Structure 1
């Protein structure tokens, strides 16, 4: 009997509590979170993923068939301009250079010999000319015969002919020497290409060759990123590209940055879209966009980032959280305004929106009190108890 009384007592307490709650709802109204309409700034952004890449990088290729003799650096290593990265060896080229040096030496010797012979003949021509002058005087005085005079003339003519031939031989020898020297220069320049050097201060991004490996022309030997110059490449959906312009601000975030963000600027928009496959296997048309990164912070080439390109911004406009605005069945936008603790459904006109806020262009005034959750089922004139954020 006592047990039944106890059960009845508990039931009575519960009913009393429910009744009290109902009375509170009836007289005090349902508690709802509200906020006041205030001016603010709203920014529309095109958001997508991207990755960090060097603003300037250099792909260094082999220029000839060769064997990798030494690899002197490692991937990720900082290098200076002119620092040797890889040395190659081309034995055929070494033989050609040796042969050409021998040919050049022979051409130089031949040129020296031709020059010496030419100088001797010039001296002989001078002597022959002096002798001819004496013979002319003696012949005029009748001291020598005509035969002796003609012999002196013939000697001068012979020296002149020999001098002409030797001059031609010297020109030929000099031409051969110049040709050999030019050929040797080309071969030595080709030999110089076997020493692969960094074109700039920077970091080695890729080093795909190994010691003793045989490479051919256009084989990638190394990739070097110029120091301190990074940028972000983001592939933006072509449908979102209409508002993206060069010079617009871009906010960059990444896990490595934590809560911090970096600021860049749209530098280049590619002139054509490319087919890309999404993570879900959907083929999309995307346009590469390059964003400057003046201060990369801890970001390194290859890091994935999130990019938000700010395409439109409005300051000093009335804004509300997007969840405060609902769309009716006929496509109209409306909010629940609290006036004297009662709900009033009010149609509004909206403008720019971002991921959090929406601009109110008509239907509300600054200071109006609006229910934060536009999805609450609150009938017109429902009595509520506003709870401000």
Structure 2
């Protein structure tokens, strides 16, 4: 036999086998149907959520910043340390301020001494004036009686005038010195206040959350030295996509999960929604518009500031409604939705209306009845009236 004839014979044999297998499959389908996982339309509750990642942060935090140019000379605590209100955290040094305080105190001491000396001089002059005024009265009587010359009388009168002018000048000096003293006292108070600002104290009983201050570090006004958080008061900040924010409102219930919590689910509620979106870059490099949302925690369990968590904001709830698996529904080209109902072991394509949904299920608002059976995988290409194994 020639080689060409042999090849043809083999091809006919293979074609026969393929046709036989295909016929066998068709017969099997017609006799027993196709195996497919099904699900039942059930009645229950469904909760629609907006889910995203959030981060735990203190509900109340205080950032302590340098208020003047200075140098760190002492860091008295460590990050994570529990501190008391008023406890020193960081001590700074400002040599220029120290010199100003020393100079101001020296000027104040000199002014105080000058005030004392001027007051003593006024007191002495007032005594002299009192005596001179008495002498002038006697001189006036003697002059009137002709017992004193005009020269002596004029001398007594000039003595009184001179002393009165001296007291007036000394009083002006005293007032000026007292004004200077008041100004120096005010300056010293301000300088002492700035000196107290060099010791950064904890404003509350709390936890040292951040401590960027380093020994011998030179700082400028506004430099962050330490952050203290009130212990036991935590919240979650989640950046929600602006497209999802329309469904989020204050007071909505939130479920919080995290690997550190294990199977435990915490609850909270939406406490604050920022008024403005922020531009964020996703892990894939996509620029997104996100809005920060603050979530209060009813119980923080073992969460700590900085932990990453998953939040599910419950935006809508339906009770006692028809529920079907989300994967059972497929979207048609015209935007309609369809499921495959199994009726009398055969597939029936049916249009349905849907409502809210969660990760796994979706609400059926029309086209289905509780108890009906559906093909769970809506992506299967099953023709109308296809037989399904019972």
Greater displacement, 160-169 / 198-207 = 198-207
Pair 1:265-2:269 in alignment: yes
Pick aligned residue for 2:245 from 241, 246, 252:
241
Pair 1:228-2:232 in alignment: yes
Q: Distance in 2 between matches of 1:222 and 1:59?
A: 6
Cα gap change, 1:102/1:329 in structure 2, threshold over 3 Å: closer, same or farther? closer
> Once the two structures are superposed, what CA deviation does each residue of 1:319-360 show, in whole Å capped at 9, x if it has no partner?
112123334565542334344555443322112122111111
Pick aligned residue for 2:175 from 165, 171, 177:
171
> Could you tell me which residue of structure 2 aligns to residue 283 of structure 1?
287
Q: Distance in 1 between matches of 2:72 and 2:129?
A: 60
Pair 1:118-2:118 in alignment: no
Cα gap change, 1:316/1:184 in structure 2, threshold over 3 Å: closer, same or farther? same
Greater displacement, 365-374 / 247-256 = 365-374
Q: How many residues align?
A: 366
Cα gap change, 1:142/1:295 in structure 2, threshold over 3 Å: closer, same or farther? farther
> Could you tell me which residue of structure 2 aligns to residue 180 of structure 1?
184
Q: Distance in 2 between matches of 1:286 and 1:306?
A: 16
Pair 1:128-2:132 in alignment: yes
- What's the CA shift for 1:104? 1.1
Gaps of 5+ in 2: 1-25
| Equivalent residues in 2 for 1:275-314, closer than 5 Å | 275-314=279-318
What's the TM-score, normalizing by structure 2? 0.83
Q: Is the 8 A contact 2:357 2:363 kept in 1?
A: yes
Cα gap change, 1:137/1:365 in structure 2, threshold over 3 Å: closer, same or farther? same
- What's the CA shift for 1:370? 3.6
Cα gap change, 1:158/1:331 in structure 2, threshold over 3 Å: closer, same or farther? closer
Greater displacement, 185-194 / 161-170 = 185-194
> Could you tell me which residue of structure 2 aligns to residue 61 of structure 1?
65
Pair 1:108-2:82 in alignment: no
Q: Is the 8 A contact 2:39 2:325 kept in 1?
A: no
> Once the two structures are superposed, what CA deviation does each residue of 1:7-29 show, in whole Å capped at 9, x if it has no partner?
xxxxxxxxxxxxxxx99987887
Pair 1:356-2:360 in alignment: yes
Pair 1:50-2:54 in alignment: yes
- What's the CA shift for 1:271? 3.1
Q: Distance in 2 between matches of 1:276 and 1:43?
A: 28
Pick aligned residue for 2:202 from 198, 206, 211:
198
Gaps of 5+ in 1: 1-21
Q: Distance in 2 between matches of 1:173 and 1:322?
A: 88
Q: Distance in 2 between matches of 1:42 and 1:285?
A: 29
Q: Distance in 2 between matches of 1:229 and 1:33?
A: 48
Q: Distance in 2 between matches of 1:64 and 1:241?
A: 42
Q: Distance in 2 between matches of 1:105 and 1:327?
A: 90
SS at match of 1:318: strand
